[in-house]
């Protein structure tokens, strides 16, 4: 992975952020991402992100759980080792519903969380470049990727005019790597090997 | 961008003049500061209780559960009572985060994090009882279905006890995932403020590298919503399956169809009482009165009077059916063993009725709902009552068998049964003290999400909208 | 600034159609009465009266569910439903009228036919003694025409009265004098108190005694503690579907400008969630009886699962569980007017079938046949319900303009 150059603008109010996002997008700049301290309702639409289909994945995992439970139990109790429990038929469906339900939920939940972590690259020891330490506190941080044609000064001026509190330029690695947060982050140059 | 407006009639959910940063400061402060003396004392007591419990359990394993006073007919006593009691308490966390989400109760944001944590710890405590009751605990893995060299001998999938294995373990797993995925952004907040290297490292590992990307938030919201949707039937199913442990049998007093919803209502009832107990302490010890407001306390007291009354309807339904069924065994159980105050265990039934049905009715009065002392006292009373409920169900149905020759009136727990129970208190509170010290007890990101709609200092800004006529308002803000 | 259409005008077509439906239904009931009701065979008479009974109870309970919905959301301090709350209010105006019909039918059965009917075997003491049915004889302290009369009167009377009180309170929300914090606070408080009283009475009747008395006692020996909560779940989910249908109808006619798919989404969620809740109660009751396998209890399910009601029994689960869970699961489905309409009709039909098998499955054990009488009687109630609800809707502004929570409802987002 290689480093890229970004212009970073930090806002302190989502009411300022929204018009800014709109202006930046209509001016033709490509917003790399916006980092926010909480889920800002509607920001994904403002950025033109497509809807997530995570819930569809959840549905599929759930169905898998249902099928697993029903097929395993019915095979075990009717084919592999049929036994008489309290005079009930071997195919005692009502008694299997609880476990079937639990496995449906278990599969769906575990599957979804793992998928979520995979998609967002979240795991212990994962480290990513943090454009602004206060993005998890009280700032909304808009990051714009610079291309060869981008005039950085113009862009910075433009962002200030939209109401950004702070504007700066960062050259950073946009992907994740393994590391811990007690080591210094490298912001400007070099490879993504941390310096102690 | 949506309009931040709510009716001025609603109480603020966050008091004081707060901005986003102040919210972070307030909630993270207890984590960054040195724990108070009170914390050390509490923690020490909890750990001592836990140690006593560990010793009791060590004896159980070494000498067998013969050291409990279980007898001919009461094959389940304190252990199953405590199991059901703890599982029930766990339910409030999921209810607050999942079902109240469906019912749009804004106040859930202040208390959901701590309640979810409480759920997890309560389920951990509950799990101890069936595990150690196995006696030969090193054989515990026999309950899991896996191809084995014993035939293969499978567990009995038709048995409610096996359903319990699946229900409790699923519940624990899903609650843990739900809680932890909600914690990720807040742990990242703590990480980014951390001053020491160790904190940076540990919170960095724990926060999974969360940086608050919009796409991640979008997925996170979707995940939370689906997990809430899954947890809603899950939480119902767990106590339902616990109730099946009793209701599928044909023992009088146990075999009754209302058990599933009535157990769930009771579980929520006791869980809310435990949340109240903890919240009253937390808001005091950590100075979080601005976030866990009287409005929150009042809302939870309303849930307590509601669920207490539902449980009351169920008790009366059962009692009525004990007569209406004209089944003499049912009648005997309900009208002699339970409702007759002069029968050997009649006191426990009336203790249950007093604590669970009668006393919560005081919460019809607003003044009492908003009184912290009353709230705290009632929360303890309710949990005593709910313990009695399980004791009543279990012991009064068992102590008089069909055969008078095997009737056994006096069941007293031994010190090791009591010690085991106290030990789970130790476990619960040890976990909770650690949680309160090292994790944000209030969901920071969620409070920020609702701050501008429900924060006290933002209420004035809504006057602009409040004065508008409905038509103007609609014209301006509804698209 | 656009003025909204506050006054619903009943379209002539709706009037004609609802009256026609009522007339067809009435005709069916009259023919049914001549055919079965006048038959010398008591069993035939019982079939006729049983049919009228379950229909009147069903339609009264699902309209009463509207008032329950209003009271429950009021107690929960809900704001989202304010934009369309006049709709459930209008639906609940049916309760006194259907209540009177149900009351007449029930009283005719217990007092008019008395000991000759087999619907309620507990009415015929002599027969019980002859059969040596000691269990039922001992229940006569509860199952007797006097208590039945008093409790039925109280139940229906208080539902109507307390519902009326809630609706009367709601009129204040049309007056500008409700503006401002103090009047608003007092309005909400008074609403909360009235709603609490209704809910308490509802719990003591629909949540417990009334279904035992009216329906469970048809199988006088049989009992299930779940029965009333099950009946409640069945009527509540149908009630929510009914509200959804009226909201959609008014939207289609260009009214309720402030209600949009966000509100529909939540109505859909209620339909979805309570369908699952109903299934949960259904399963719990059925499974526990199946598992315990005690003859006194399984007798209720025996002919329903294995006998003539088999088809209806399984249809019940398919319509009321499988369909809602598969069709309403998706977010887009709950926001789709056509799909929600379809599901609402299906759910109401499904629970009507459920009531059919609950009541007729006990009266007419030998065979199950949904005949023109069942559909005709239902048509009578549906037609009348449409007529009355439309009429009530036209009497009040459709949006409670000064309700303190109305603005929250307008910007409501799911």
Per-domain boundaries in chain A: 4-50+132-194, 54-119
- For A94, the closest of C286, C329, C413 (CB atoms) is C286
Would you call C293 and A87 a contact, using CB atoms and an 8 Å cutoff? yes
pLDDT band, very low/low/confident/very high, at B3 (cuts 50, 70, 90)? confident
CA distance, residue A155 to nearest chain B CA (Å): 21
Q: Is residue B289 a contact partner of residue B434, using CB atoms and an 8 Å limit?
A: no
CA separation for the pair B160, A100 (Å, rounded) = 13
Q: What is the pLDDT of residues B418-463, one digit of tens each?
A: 999 999 999 999 999 999 999 999 999 999 988 888 888 888 888 7
pLDDT for position B310: 94
**Structure token pair of residue C367:** 């065979």
Q: Is residue B275 a contact partner of residue B92, using CB atoms and an 8 Å limit?
A: yes
Q: Is residue B81 a contact partner of residue B391, using CB atoms and an 8 Å limit?
A: yes
Q: Which fold has domain B20-143+153-460?
A: Formate dehydrogenase/DMSO reductase fold (1.20.1630)
Which residues form the domain of C213? 26-124+135-410
Q: What is the pLDDT of residues B289-343, one digit of tens each?
A: 899 999 999 999 999 999 999 999 999 999 999 999 999 899 999 999 999 999 9
Would you call B218 and A119 a contact, using CB atoms and an 8 Å cutoff? no
CA separation for the pair C66, C90 (Å, rounded) = 9
CA separation for the pair B258, C235 (Å, rounded) = 18
**Structure token pair of residue A157:** 């001026």
Total domains present in chain C: 1
CA-based R_g, chain B, Å: 24
pLDDT for position B100: 78
Max CA separation in chain A (angstroms): 82
- For A94, the closest of C287, C329, C413 (CB atoms) is C287
Q: Which residues of A touch B205 (CB under 8 A)?
A: 124-125, 180-181
CA separation for the pair A168, A165 (Å, rounded) = 10
How many angstroms separate the Cα of C153 from the Cα of each of A162, C30, C149?
Answer: 69, 26, 6
3-class secondary structure per residue, chain A: CCCEEEEEEEECCHHHHHHHHHHHHHCCCCEEEEECCCCCCCHHHHCCCCCCCHHHHHHHHHHHHHHHHHHHHHHHHHHHCCCCCCCCCCCCHHHHHHHHHHHHHHHHHHHHHHHHHHHCCCCCCEEECCCCHHHHCCCEEEEEECCCCCCHHHHHHHHHHCCCCEEEEEEECCCEEECCCCCCCCCCCCCCCCCC
CA distance, residue A161 to nearest chain B CA (Å): 20
**Structure token pair of residue B320:** 């009525």
Helix pair C227-252, C337-363: axis angle to 10 deg: 150
pLDDT for position A195: 38
Per-domain boundaries in chain B: 20-143+153-460
CA separation for the pair B278, B293 (Å, rounded) = 14
Using alpha carbons, select from C209, C225, C134 the residue that is nearest to residue B322. C225
Range 137-166 of A in CB contact (< 8 A) with B: 137-138
> What phi and psi values does residue B52 have, to the nearest 5 degrees?
-60, -45
pLDDT for position B36: 86
**Structure token pair of residue B47:** 């750990």
Average pLDDT over residues B142-159: 85
**Structure token pair of residue B195:** 């001053």
**Structure token pair of residue C80:** 């989202």
Q: Is residue B172 a contact partner of residue A157, using CB atoms and an 8 Å limit?
A: no
How many angstroms separate the Cα of C266 from the Cα of each of B7, B449, C170?
Answer: 20, 21, 22
Using alpha carbons, select from B410, B406, B413 the residue that is nearest to residue B387. B413
pLDDT for position B151: 74
Would you call A59 and C286 a contact, using CB atoms and an 8 Å cutoff? no
Instruction: Tell me the H-state helices in C318-371.
Output: 323-327, 331-334, 337-363
**Structure token pair of residue B190:** 């703590």
Would you call A76 and B200 a contact, using CB atoms and an 8 Å cutoff? no
Whether residue C219 lies inside any domain: the answer is: yes
CA separation for the pair B189, B179 (Å, rounded) = 16
Range 35-64 of A in CB contact (< 8 A) with B: 35-44, 46-47, 49, 51-52, 54-55, 58, 62
Range 172-211 of C in CB contact (< 8 A) with B: 181, 184-185, 188, 196, 200, 203-204, 207-208
Whether residue C353 lies inside any domain: the answer is: yes
pLDDT for position A190: 41
A168 pairs with which residues across the strands? A8
pLDDT for position A87: 86
> What phi and psi values does residue B211 have, to the nearest 5 degrees?
-125, 5
Using alpha carbons, select from C330, A70, C321 the residue that is nearest to residue B229. C330
CA separation for the pair A40, B450 (Å, rounded) = 10
Match domain A4-50+132-194 to its CATH number in 2.60.40, 1.10.40, 3.30.70, 3.30.420.
3.30.70
Average pLDDT over residues B244-272: 93
CA separation for the pair C236, B9 (Å, rounded) = 29
What is the average pLDDT value for chain B, to the nearest integer?
90
**Structure token pair of residue A194:** 């941390």
Q: Residue with structure tokens 């799909």?
A: C339
Q: Which residues of B touch A83 (CB under 8 A)?
A: 156
Q: Which residues of A touch B200 (CB under 8 A)?
A: 180-182
Q: What is the pLDDT of residues C111-155, one digit of tens each?
A: 988 888 889 999 999 999 999 999 999 999 999 999 999 999 999
CA separation for the pair C386, C63 (Å, rounded) = 11
Helix pair A93-119, A54-74: axis angle to 10 deg: 150
The helix or strand, by DSSP H or E, that contains position B20, with its residue range, turns out to be: helix B20-32
How many residues make up chain A in this entry? 196
Whether residue C279 lies inside any domain: the answer is: yes
Which residue positions in chain A have pLDDT lower than 50? 187-196
CA separation for the pair B391, B128 (Å, rounded) = 18
DSSP string, B97-118: IIIHHHTT-TTHHHHHHHHHHH
How many angstroms separate the Cα of A84 from the Cα of each of A44, A80, A89, A92, A125?
Answer: 56, 13, 7, 10, 51
pLDDT for position B1: 52
Would you call B103 and C188 a contact, using CB atoms and an 8 Å cutoff? no
Degrees to nearest 5, angle at CA C186 with C184 and C191 = 95
Whether residue C323 lies inside any domain: the answer is: yes
Q: Which residues of C283-306 are buried (b: 16+ CB within 10 A; e: fewer)?
A: bbbbbbbbbbeeeebeebbebbee
pLDDT for position B459: 80
Inform me whether the pLDDT recorded for B11 exceeds 90: no
Using alpha carbons, select from C209, C86, B470, A176 the residue that is nearest to residue B478. B470
Q: What is the pLDDT of residues A154-183, one digit of tens each?
A: 888 988 998 888 898 888 888 888 888 887
Would you call B465 and C77 a contact, using CB atoms and an 8 Å cutoff? no
Instruction: Tell me the H-state helices in C205-260.
Output: 210-214, 227-252
The chain C residues in contact with chain A (CB within 8 A) are: 283, 286-287, 290-291, 293, 329, 413
pLDDT band, very low/low/confident/very high, at B2 (cuts 50, 70, 90)? low
CA separation for the pair B347, B340 (Å, rounded) = 8
CA C96, distance to chain mean position in Å, is 13
Using alpha carbons, select from B469, B472, B459 the residue that is nearest to residue B7. B459
CA C304, distance to chain mean position in Å, is 22
CA distance, residue A112 to nearest chain C CA (Å): 17
Q: Render each residue's pLDDT in chain C as its tens digit; 414 residues.
A: 567 888 899 999 999 999 999 999 999 999 999 999 898 999 999 999 999 999 999 999 999 999 999 999 999 888 889 999 999 999 999 999 999 999 999 999 999 888 888 899 999 999 999 999 999 999 999 999 999 999 999 999 999 999 999 999 999 998 888 888 889 999 999 999 999 999 999 999 999 999 999 999 999 999 999 999 999 999 999 999 999 999 999 999 999 988 988 899 999 999 999 999 999 999 999 999 999 999 999 999 998 999 899 999 999 999 999 999 999 988 899 999 999 999 999 999 999 999 999 999 999 988 888 899 999 999 999 999 999 999 999 999 999 988 989 888 888 877
pTM of the complete model:
0.94
pLDDT for position C215: 95
- For A138, the closest of B24, B151, B197 (CB atoms) is B24
CA separation for the pair A120, B215 (Å, rounded) = 8
Average pLDDT over residues B65-82: 86
**Structure token pair of residue A130:** 């943090």
Q: What is the pLDDT of residues B177-232, one digit of tens each?
A: 999 999 999 999 999 988 888 999 999 999 999 999 999 999 999 999 899 889 98
Query: Which one of B4, B176, B214 would you mutate to disrupt binding with A, by most A Cβ within 10 Å of its Cβ?
Result: B214
Instruction: Tell me the H-state helices in B248-365.
Output: 259-285, 294-324, 328-331, 346-353
């Amino acid at each position: 992975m290689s480093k890229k150059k970004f212009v970073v603008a930090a806002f302190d109010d989502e009411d300022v952020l929204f018009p800014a996002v709109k202006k930046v997008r209509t001016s033709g700049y490509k917003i790399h991402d916006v980092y926010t301290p909480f889920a800002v309702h509607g920001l994904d639409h403002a950025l033109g992100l497509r809807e997530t289909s995570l819930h569809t994945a959840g549905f599929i995992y759930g169905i898998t759980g249902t099928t697993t439970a029903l097929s395993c139990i019915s095979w075990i109790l009717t084919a592999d080792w049929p036994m008489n429990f309290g005079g009930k038929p071997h195919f005692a469906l009502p008694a299997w519903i609880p476990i079937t339900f639990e496995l449906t939920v278990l599969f769906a939940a575990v599957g979804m969380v793992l998928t979520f972590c995979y998609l967002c690259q979240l795991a212990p020891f994962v480290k990513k470049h943090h454009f602004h330490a206060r993005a998890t506190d009280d700032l909304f941080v808009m990051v714009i990727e610079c291309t060869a044609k981008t005039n950085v000064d113009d862009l910075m001026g433009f962002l200030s005019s939209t109401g950004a509190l702070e504007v700066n330029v960062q050259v950073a690695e946009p992907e994740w790597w393994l590391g811990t947060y007690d080591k210094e982050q490298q912001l400007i140059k070099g490879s993504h090997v941390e310096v102690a | 961008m949506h309009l931040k407006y709510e009716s001025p009639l609603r109480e603020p959910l966050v008091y004081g003049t707060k901005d986003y940063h102040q919210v972070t400061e307030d909630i993270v402060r207890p984590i960054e500061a040195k724990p108070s003396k009170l914390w050390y004392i509490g923690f020490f007591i909890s750990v001592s209780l836990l140690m006593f419990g560990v010793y009791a359990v060590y004896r159980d394993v070494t000498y067998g559960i013969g050291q409990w006073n279980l007898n001919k007919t009461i094959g389940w006593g304190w252990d199953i009572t405590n199991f059901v009691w703890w599982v029930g308490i766990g339910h409030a966390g999921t209810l607050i985060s999942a079902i109240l989400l469906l019912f749009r109760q804004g106040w859930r944001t202040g208390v959901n994090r701590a309640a979810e944590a409480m759920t997890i710890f309560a389920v951990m405590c509950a799990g101890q009882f069936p595990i150690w009751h196995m006696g030969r605990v090193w054989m515990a893995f026999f309950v899991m279905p896996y191809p084995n060299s014993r035939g293969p001998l499978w567990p009995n999938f038709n048995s409610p006890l096996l359903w319990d294995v699946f229900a409790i373990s699923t519940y624990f797993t899903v609650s843990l995932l739900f809680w932890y995925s909600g914690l990720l952004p807040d742990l990242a907040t703590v990480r980014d403020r951390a001053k020491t290297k160790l904190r940076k490292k540990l919170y960095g590992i724990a926060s999974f590298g969360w940086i608050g990307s919009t796409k991640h938030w979008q997925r996170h919201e979707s995940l939370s919503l689906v997990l809430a949707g899954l947890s809603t039937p899950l939480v119902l199913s767990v106590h339902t399956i616990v109730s099946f442990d009793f209701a599928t049998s044909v023992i009088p007093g146990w075999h009754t169809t209302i058990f599933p919803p009535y157990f769930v209502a009771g579980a929520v009832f006791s869980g809310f009482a435990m949340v109240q107990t903890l919240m009253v302490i937390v808001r005091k010890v950590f100075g979080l009165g601005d976030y866990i407001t009287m409005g929150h306390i009042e809302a939870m007291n309303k849930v307590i009077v509601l669920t207490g009354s539902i449980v009351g309807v169920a008790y009366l339904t059962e009692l009525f059916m004990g007569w209406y069924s004209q089944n003499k065994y049912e009648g005997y159980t309900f009208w002699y063993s339970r409702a007759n105050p002069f029968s050997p265990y009649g006191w426990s039934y009336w203790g249950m009725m007093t604590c669970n049905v009668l006393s919560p009715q005081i919460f019809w009065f607003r003044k009492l709902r908003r009184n912290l002392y009353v709230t705290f006292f009632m929360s303890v009373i309710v949990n005593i009552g709910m313990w009695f409920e399980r004791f009543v169900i279990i012991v009064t149905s068992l102590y008089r068998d069909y055969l008078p020759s095997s009737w056994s009136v006096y069941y007293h727990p031994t010190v090791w049964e009591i010690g085991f129970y106290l030990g789970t208190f130790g476990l619960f509170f040890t976990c909770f003290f650690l949680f309160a010290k090292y994790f944000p007890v209030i969901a920071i990101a969620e409070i920020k999400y609702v701050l501008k709609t429900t924060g006290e200092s933002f209420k004035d800004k809504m006057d602009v909208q409040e004065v508008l006529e409905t038509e103007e308002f609609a014209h301006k803000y509804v698209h | 600034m656009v003025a909204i259409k506050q006054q619903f005008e009943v379209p002539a077509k709706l009037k004609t159609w609802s009256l026609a439906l009522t007339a067809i239904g009435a005709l069916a009931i009259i023919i049914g009465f001549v055919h079965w009701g006048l038959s010398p065979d008591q069993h035939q008479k019982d079939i006729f009266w049983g049919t009228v009974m379950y229909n009147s109870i069903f339609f009264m309970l699902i309209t009463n569910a509207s008032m329950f919905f209003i009271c429950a959301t009021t107690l929960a301090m809900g704001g989202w439903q304010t934009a369309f709350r006049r709709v459930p209010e209008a639906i609940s105006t049916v309760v006194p009228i259907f209540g009177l019909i149900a009351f007449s039918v029930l009283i005719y059965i217990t007092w008019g036919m008395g000991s000759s009917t087999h619907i309620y075997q507990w009415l015929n003491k002599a027969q019980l003694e002859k059969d040596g049915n000691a269990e039922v004889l001992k229940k006569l302290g509860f199952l007797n025409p006097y208590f039945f009369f008093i409790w039925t009167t109280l139940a229906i009377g208080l539902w109507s009265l307390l519902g009326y009180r809630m609706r009367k309170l709601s009129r204040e929300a049309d007056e500008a004098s409700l503006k401002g914090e103090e009047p608003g606070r007092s309005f909400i408080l008074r609403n909360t108190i009235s709603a609490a009283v209704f809910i308490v009475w509802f719990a003591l009747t629909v949540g417990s005694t009334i279904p035992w008395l009216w329906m469970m006692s048809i199988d006088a020996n049989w009992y299930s503690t779940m029965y009333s909560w099950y009946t409640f779940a069945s009527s509540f989910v149908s009630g929510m579907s009914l509200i959804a249908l009226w909201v959609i109808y008014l939207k289609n006619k260009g009214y309720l400008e402030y209600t949009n798919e966000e509100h529909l989404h939540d109505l859909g969620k209620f339909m979805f969630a309570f369908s699952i809740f109903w299934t949960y109660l259904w399963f719990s009751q059925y499974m526990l009886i199946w598992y315990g396998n005690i003859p006194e209890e399984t007798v209720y399910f025996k002919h329903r699962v294995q006998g003539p009601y088999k088809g209806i029994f399984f249809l019940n689960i398919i319509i009321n569980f499988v369909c809602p869970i598969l069709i309403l699961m998706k977010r887009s489905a709950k926001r789709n007017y056509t799909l929600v309409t379809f599901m609402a009709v299906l759910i109401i039909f499904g629970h009507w079938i459920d009531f059919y098998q609950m009541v007729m499955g006990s009266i007419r054990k030998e065979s199950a046949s949904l005949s023109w009488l069942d559909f005709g009687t239902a048509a009578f109630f549906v037609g009348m319900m449409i007529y009355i609800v439309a009429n009530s809707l036209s009497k009040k502004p459709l949006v409670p303009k000064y309700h303190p929570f109305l603005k929250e409802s307008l910007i409501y987002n799911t």
